[in-house]
Structure 1
Amino acid sequence: MNTVKSSNLGYPRIGEKREWKQALEQFWAGKLEKEEFLKQIEEIRLQHLQKQHEQGIDLIPVGDFSLYDHVLDTAVMFGLVPKRFKYSGGKVSLETYFNIARGTTGAVASEMTKWFNTNYHYIVPELGEAVPALVENRPLQFYKEAKQRLNIAGKPVILGPVTFVKLSKGYQKSEFNTVVNQFVPLYADILRELQQEGVEWVQIDEPILATAISKEEIALFNEVYQALHEAAPNIKVILQTYFESIEHYEEVISLPVQGIGLDFVHDAGQSLAAVKQYGFPQDKVLAAGVIDGRNIWRANLDDKFSVLAEITEVVSKDRLIVQPSSSLLHVPVTVKNEEALDEILTGALAFADEKLHEIVVLTKGLQEGKEAIQTEITASVEAIKALNQSSVRNNTEVQEAIRGLHTYKADRQAPFSVRQGLQEEAFELPLLPTTTIGSFPQTQEVRKQRLKWRKGELTNAEYETYIKAEIKKWIDIQEELGLDVFVHGEFERTDMVEYFGEKLAGFQFTKFAWVQSYGSRCVKPPLIYGDVSYQEPMTVAETVYAQSLTDKPVKGMLTGPITILNWSFVRDDIPRYDVANQIALALRKEVEALEENGIRMIQVDEPAIREGLPLKQEKKQSYLSAAVYAFKLATASVQNDTQIHTHMCYSDFKNIIDAIKALDADVISIETSKSHGELIHAFEENTYDKGIGLGVYDIHSPRVPKLEELTRNIDRALQVLDPKLFWINPDCGLKTRGIDETVAALKVMVEAAEQTREKLLVKKG
């Protein structure tokens, strides 16, 4: 390597217009034969490699592409298939692969959880049921494909053994080293075969190094990578970290690898400070992640070049790689298709393709001198300046409100013990009240009518009539099912964040800026690009209409400030918590509007609290405090007999239970069905004294649960939770499910609740 190189860590899988998603869903629906499906997927994969090659990226990742999830890919590469899927060895079939992720009528899907502090979900590997074996060398397969089809000598990407085992389940903590060492010979085989094929660079991702790991685990890293180096001494391994700066910097840079990849975007310059303070080994390459891989804003190339210049004071250019801070999996594909956006905003955006261009420009600047890229530098600085000076980022009313936050009350009028009695009297609910989380199935017809309305083919009045008809249909279904607390179904909403962003000032929406959330589920996060403010009521009309159709309480449904924050691309020119509080103040006005219009149960969902949790232990409390404050700022102004609900996804509950209590919600529901036992165990160790619903069945799988499953889940929960505080609900919204399966599953849920009530009354009697 004679000079600085450019590199990428991973490219978005979904395609510019979600071609990947469309192929997957057509295949699952039986509308695409397997051979044609695989052909389409191969074309998409090769197009992505070709685009990176044409951009001028030197080290192009191969093997980062996935049909569902890269962690699942790693598991099936080692034959780790849970017994319930009746795997008989050898290469894991495509059908079994998807069954693990999605479940079958006879086998529950593997657990899905958040990928570190992102909104990407991975499938949790289940260890202990099968002995790992290398049944398919995926990195080799994709390397050969790129070489043979495009003449690209790619950089194979592999999830590292320590992180892989850390993210898995099915073993005791005391067995961790032993389990990791089971995989080392398999990784060694992968590297040996890559070496035989003539591979030069391999990227092994170990993001666990950015978390609080122990000295003992660092010692394990040393043993593992020494063994891998001995197995394939001619392979150059880049040990790649991302999302935050690494713990144990001096030990990590001493590991027996040829390159270290560090995040120079997050953690406020700690990586740069560590390089300058402790130096960097003369025999290693530094892969410097200076372009933000997780946000969509154009880089100030002057600032980025300065960071690289400081790095080159320690690391010579021939030992430097310029790259993004993480895989570009977390950002949309390209800005070029966003033709409808304001020119000032477009000029300040950079999606995956634009970020790769920034990397190439910076690499050129290091190779040829800053003057060679001065035009690009000036353009980036001017574009960012134009957005910062625009009126949308200078709303004086909003900015004054943030400066005067101390004038807003962020605590309920009375403690829960008082509110509980008033709410029992107001609502007169039975023991173990049943409800749902908020959304009901968004059928193809619902989406079709919304699209017609957006295109102007339906008038506002016609669309409103259609939405009211859907609301009435589902109010009637809820009456027939015998649910105790209703919802209006959210048929007017595309997405739980997008809907609110469209109605609040300071947000902008795109046409094609999709990112993968899990499986084929793609989301189009709004861009919070300006000061956020309330415009007009957002949910009142639909909720009040639903309430007019029934004597049962109907919950108002809002998305909470932290979830809106964490599921958006957030402006980076002001503190993130200021943005959260701007959103909270806007939502506070909507909560008050619902209450004024007779809605006395209001659910403010916070499923994404887990996503924003910092990886560093010392930063977690300040984040949780800010999250609690924003939630309370949005909800605390209601009367004592108005019941505040919230919903969140399972997120190491025992580690954040104090923060969950501090939210002071009257009722919390938690997505738990795939981790039910683990969560119940958390309640055995911690007391929770407010209303709570643990999701009693999994909505992510297209199956109707059995009655005995649900009664077992309920009974287990009631061993540690007060029946007077326990609610029964699915574990998440039902938007993605079919109508028939939704009705059938809820019927079973109501029956399970009734059976349990009867048992409790008999026991009490």
Structure 2
Amino acid sequence: MGTTWTNSNLGYPRLGENREWKRALESFWAGRLDESEFLKEVKELRLSYLKKQQESGLELIPVGDFSLYDHILDTATMFGFIPERFTEDSNTVSLTTYFNMARGTAEAPACEMTKWFNTNYHYIVPEIGEITPVLTENKPLNAYKEAKNELNIDGKPVLTGPITFLKLSKGYSQDEFEKKLDQLLPLYVEVLSELKEAGASWVQIDEPSLVASLPKEDIHFVQKAYDTFAKEVPGLSVMLQTYFEAIDHYEEIVNLPVDGIGLDFVHGWEKNIASLEKHGFPTTKTLGVGLVDGRNIWRADLKEKEAALQKINQLAPEANKVIQPSCSLLHVPVTKKHETKLDSVLHDALSFADEKLTEIVTLSTMINGQADDKTVKENQQALQRFSENYRKQSADLTKQRESLPSERELSFAERKKYQDEKWNLPLLPTTTIGSFPQTKEVRVTRQQFRKGEKTAAEYQEFIQNKMKEWIDIQEDIGIDVLVHGEFERNDMVEFFGEKLNGFAFTSNGWVQSYGSRCVKPPVIYDDVTFDKPMTVAESQYAQSLTDKPVKGMLTGPVTILNWSFERDDISRKEVSYQIAVALSQEVQALEEAGIEMIQVDEPAVREGMPLKTEEWNDYLDWSVHAFRLATSNVKHSTQIHTHMCYSEFQDMIESIRALDADVISIETSRSHGELIESFETAVYEKGIGLGVYDIHSPRVPSVEEMKEMMERALRVLPASLFWINPDCGLKTRNTPETIDSLKNMVLAAKEIRKTQETTTS
């Protein structure tokens, strides 16, 4: 990398400027593209992304970061970890099998999906089991050759490291870790050897697991892996890349036999700088300086970043250094050039993936004494205009928060008597999580309304008709507690952000959530305050159509925070409290309108957990406090529900209890019921619904399958507190499979209910 500062990228978004990648995937799944057409289309996209990075002036361009679904699924299939229910007869993996693992089939449930560290991205969890790994395809090599042959780019192949891959996998015990590692290392050596032979100058091996609270004894495994690579593939330059936080075992990691270490100097600034100050950095290695935020959308302050680079230069003066983002740019939108509707002051303060590439290149010119003064001046002026116009905190918000109760007046056991009397629900009541299918008709009609092609009255009539249709469907199926379907909502966070002060919305700021599922996170740029009721009209209308209870549906304060691009000038805790105060006013409005069963969803609490275990308690304390600020100022008979999904909750059962929700629903089906084990040792005394079928897969689960899940849960949870529901909202499913699945769910619940009633009579 030479004696001067150079620059690099760690990964680029897959979606395309206008979600072309998503459309290609969904066209292939729907049969509108055959396999060859699909592969041709995604190749063109992949090459266009590389060309864009090349034209930006980047010196080291990542290759192999592109995926047809998920990079961890890519790694699992590359090493032949194909669960038996998907097994093929050869050592290659077909595209059909690849997608079946991610999406499931009628016969084979999909692999588990969970959050990628503390981001909003989901990965497919590899199932290791007793499978003996085999190299089915050298994917990084293919990506390297493609970039070289098609664009003459000497790319930097990217692959997930063996420690992180195994840490993220399931189906084996911790005692077997070294055995599994020993099986994998020869395959990694084969991949790296072929890359070296092909001429790769650098290889980026991602090991984000090294920033988590890694046990000291696990350092042995890290050393073993990288000692093996150094011994078996000498002469290949390996950049061991970490991100999302600081590394704990600094001395051991920076002294591994690799040529470079990449550190996050955004989210891990304080700890990584402290480690540099105390221990220095090896003069023979390259330091990857992750200084441009790869997870948020705010423009970098170039002068501030230059000062940070100077500090790092003082602490590691003799090491080669490379400027790069703090992590892959997978987590931010592609470009802000299409955001023509944003306020110009706010627009100038934003930076998406393409703009971040420019920032990286600019910073490398600045630190090398070749700065363009005009660029730096424009950067400073834009940031000054933004700070002068926004982010002025109001003292009234603190007063509002301090006036709210942060706990219910009665305990759960005491208020349950009021709720049982009011609602008179059957044993094992059935419900859904909130949304129903967002069909093409719904999406098109919403777009027509937004474009002014339909009047507000026409749009309201359409939404009311959809609500009535699905209230009738729910009643026909026999569901006990209904929902209005959320047809008026484009996204569970964006919908509320559009109605609260302090949020802005992009036109094309899409990021990948999982597979082809994209979200457009709101931008929190100023103080968050309540304006007027947001959900009352729809909830009241739906309730008027039935004698059964209809839940009011809100998104919780921590989820709104975690699924938004938050402001970075005040703490996340403070922003969550602002949102909570605003939501408490919506809860009050619903209750006053006669909606007294209110669900405040918090699916994103677990994903926001800090990666360092010593920081968990503080985060969970303020997350619980925010939820209780939003939900405690209600009557005894008002029943507060919440929902959480895709996460491992075993380590936060006490915090779930502390939320003090009357009913909580939690995903369990895709994790094959493993969460149920938590309740075999931890008593949970409030209402709970463990999702009985996976809504992320198009398959319709059988009655017997759901009964089995219910029976297992009821071995450790009392039937008097147990609810029956799907894993999550049904927005992404189609209408026939939704109806069929819910019919089976209700039939299963009725059969189990009879068994329980017979047992207790």
TM-score range, shorter chain: over 0.9
Give a deviation string over 1:273-292, Cα, whole Å, max 9, x none. Answer: 21122100011000000010
Residue 386 of structure 2 corresponds to 387
Give a deviation string over 1:650-671, Cα, whole Å, max 9, x none. Answer: 4221200111000000000001
Give a deviation string over 1:52-89, Cα, whole Å, max 9, x none. Answer: 11011111000000000000000010111111013112
For the residues of structure 1 that align with 2:242 and 2:437, how far apart are their CA atoms? 40
For the residues of structure 1 that align with 2:319 and 2:76, how far apart are their CA atoms? 36
Residue 210 of structure 1 corresponds to 211
Residue 259 of structure 1 corresponds to 260
Q: CA deviation at 1:268?
A: 4.5
Residue 57 of structure 1 corresponds to 58
- Stretches of 4+ aligned residues off by more than 4 angstroms: none
Match of residue 554, structure 2, among 554, 558, 574: 558
| SS at 2:671 equivalent | helix
Matched-pair contact (CA < 8 Å) for 2:584–2:630: yes
| SS at 1:393 equivalent | coil
For the residues of structure 2 that align with 1:378 and 1:687, how far apart are their CA atoms? 60
Matched-pair contact (CA < 8 Å) for 2:400–2:581: no
Q: CA deviation at 1:616?
A: 0.3
| SS at 2:213 equivalent | coil
| SS at 1:429 equivalent | coil
Residue 278 of structure 1 corresponds to 279
Give a deviation string over 1:593-647, Cα, whole Å, max 9, x none. Answer: 0000000100000000112100001111100001001100000001010000000
Q: CA deviation at 1:199?
A: 0.8
For the residues of structure 1 that align with 2:264 and 2:320, how far apart are their CA atoms? 16
For the residues of structure 2 that align with 1:202 and 1:125, how far apart are their CA atoms? 23
| SS at 1:350 equivalent | coil
For the residues of structure 1 that align with 2:231 and 2:317, how far apart are their CA atoms? 27
Q: CA deviation at 1:267?
A: 3.4
Residue 567 of structure 2 corresponds to 571
Residue 494 of structure 1 corresponds to 490
Match of residue 723, structure 2, among 722, 727, 730: 727
Residue 610 of structure 2 corresponds to 614
CA RMSD of aligned residues (A): 1.1
Q: CA deviation at 1:388?
A: 1.8
For the residues of structure 2 that align with 1:277 and 1:400, how far apart are their CA atoms? 43
For the residues of structure 2 that align with 1:307 and 1:430, how far apart are their CA atoms? 62
| Residue type of the alignment partner of 2:184 | F
For the residues of structure 2 that align with 1:395 and 1:308, how far apart are their CA atoms? 31
Q: CA deviation at 1:129?
A: 4.1
Residue 687 of structure 1 corresponds to 683
Match of residue 504, structure 2, among 503, 508, 521: 508
Q: CA deviation at 1:380?
A: 2.3
| SS at 1:368 equivalent | coil
Matched-pair contact (CA < 8 Å) for 2:283–2:319: no
For the residues of structure 2 that align with 1:404 and 1:30, how far apart are their CA atoms? 54
Match of residue 703, structure 2, among 688, 702, 707: 707
| SS at 2:323 equivalent | strand
| Residue type of the alignment partner of 1:639 | K
For the residues of structure 1 that align with 2:62 and 2:29, how far apart are their CA atoms? 28
**1:147-162 pair list within 5 angstroms:** 147-162=148-163
Q: CA deviation at 1:231?
A: 1.4
1:191 aligns with 2:169: no
Match of residue 663, structure 1, among 659, 670, 678: 659
Residue 471 of structure 1 corresponds to 467
Residue 377 of structure 2 corresponds to 378
For the residues of structure 2 that align with 1:584 and 1:165, how far apart are their CA atoms? 38
For the residues of structure 2 that align with 1:253 and 1:66, how far apart are their CA atoms? 30
For the residues of structure 2 that align with 1:237 and 1:315, how far apart are their CA atoms? 19
For the residues of structure 2 that align with 1:698 and 1:219, how far apart are their CA atoms? 38
Matched-pair contact (CA < 8 Å) for 2:91–2:134: no
| Residue type of the alignment partner of 1:532 | V
For the residues of structure 2 that align with 1:676 and 1:585, how far apart are their CA atoms? 37
For the residues of structure 2 that align with 1:676 and 1:586, how far apart are their CA atoms? 37
Residue 433 of structure 1 corresponds to 429
For the residues of structure 1 that align with 2:324 and 2:243, how far apart are their CA atoms? 11
For the residues of structure 1 that align with 2:306 and 2:265, how far apart are their CA atoms? 12
Q: CA deviation at 1:314?
A: 2.8
Moved more, 216-225 or 348-357: 216-225
Match of residue 651, structure 1, among 644, 647, 653: 647
1:30 aligns with 2:31: yes
Matched-pair contact (CA < 8 Å) for 1:82–1:129: no
Q: CA deviation at 1:406?
A: 2.8
Residue 481 of structure 2 corresponds to 485
| Residue type of the alignment partner of 1:613 | M
1:518 aligns with 2:514: yes
Residue 339 of structure 2 corresponds to 338
Q: CA deviation at 1:318?
A: 6.2
> TM-score scaled by structure 1?
0.98
Residue 94 of structure 1 corresponds to 95
Matched-pair contact (CA < 8 Å) for 2:483–2:551: yes
In structure 1, runs of 5+ residues without a counterpart are none
Q: CA deviation at 1:393?
A: 2.4
Q: CA deviation at 1:35?
A: 1.0
For the residues of structure 1 that align with 2:585 and 2:314, how far apart are their CA atoms? 53
Moved more, 156-165 or 652-661: 652-661
Residue 764 of structure 1 corresponds to 760
Residue 588 of structure 1 corresponds to 584
Give a deviation string over 1:721-760, Cα, whole Å, max 9, x none. Answer: 0100000000100111111111111111111111011111
For the residues of structure 1 that align with 2:533 and 2:31, how far apart are their CA atoms? 43
Residue 7 of structure 1 corresponds to 8
Matched-pair contact (CA < 8 Å) for 1:670–1:731: yes
| SS at 2:692 equivalent | coil
Q: CA deviation at 1:4?
A: 1.5
Residue 133 of structure 1 corresponds to 134
Give a deviation string over 1:124-164, Cα, whole Å, max 9, x none. Answer: 00002421011100010000000000000000000000100
For the residues of structure 2 that align with 1:302 and 1:620, how far apart are their CA atoms? 33
> TM-score scaled by structure 2?
0.99
Matched-pair contact (CA < 8 Å) for 1:191–1:231: no
For the residues of structure 2 that align with 1:663 and 1:373, how far apart are their CA atoms? 52
For the residues of structure 2 that align with 1:706 and 1:599, how far apart are their CA atoms? 33
| Residue type of the alignment partner of 2:753 | R
Give a deviation string over 1:182-210, Cα, whole Å, max 9, x none. Answer: 10000000111111111110000000000
Residue 323 of structure 1 corresponds to 324
| Residue type of the alignment partner of 1:323 | Q
| SS at 1:435 equivalent | coil
| Residue type of the alignment partner of 2:171 | G
| Residue type of the alignment partner of 2:378 | A
Give a deviation string over 1:501-548, Cα, whole Å, max 9, x none. Answer: 111111111111100000000100000111111111110000000000
For the residues of structure 2 that align with 1:657 and 1:130, how far apart are their CA atoms? 32
For the residues of structure 2 that align with 1:290 and 1:353, how far apart are their CA atoms? 16
Query: Identity across aligned pairs (percent)?
Result: 58
Relative to 1, partners in 2 of residues 1:403 and 1:289: Cα closer, same or farther, differing over 3 Å? farther
Task: Give aligned pairs, total.
Answer: 760
For the residues of structure 1 that align with 2:434 and 2:508, how far apart are their CA atoms? 26
In structure 2, runs of 5+ residues without a counterpart are none
Moved more, 565-574 or 673-682: 673-682
| SS at 2:600 equivalent | strand
Q: CA deviation at 1:467?
A: 0.5
Q: CA deviation at 1:5?
A: 1.1
Moved more, 659-668 or 317-326: 317-326
For the residues of structure 1 that align with 2:300 and 2:480, how far apart are their CA atoms? 51
Residue 303 of structure 2 corresponds to 302
Give a deviation string over 1:372-396, Cα, whole Å, max 9, x none. Answer: 2443333223222221221x42263
1:534 aligns with 2:530: yes
| SS at 2:526 equivalent | strand
Matched-pair contact (CA < 8 Å) for 1:438–1:734: yes
Matched-pair contact (CA < 8 Å) for 1:402–1:578: no
For the residues of structure 2 that align with 1:579 and 1:340, how far apart are their CA atoms? 25
Matched-pair contact (CA < 8 Å) for 1:83–1:129: no
For the residues of structure 2 that align with 1:615 and 1:382, how far apart are their CA atoms? 35
| SS at 1:532 equivalent | strand
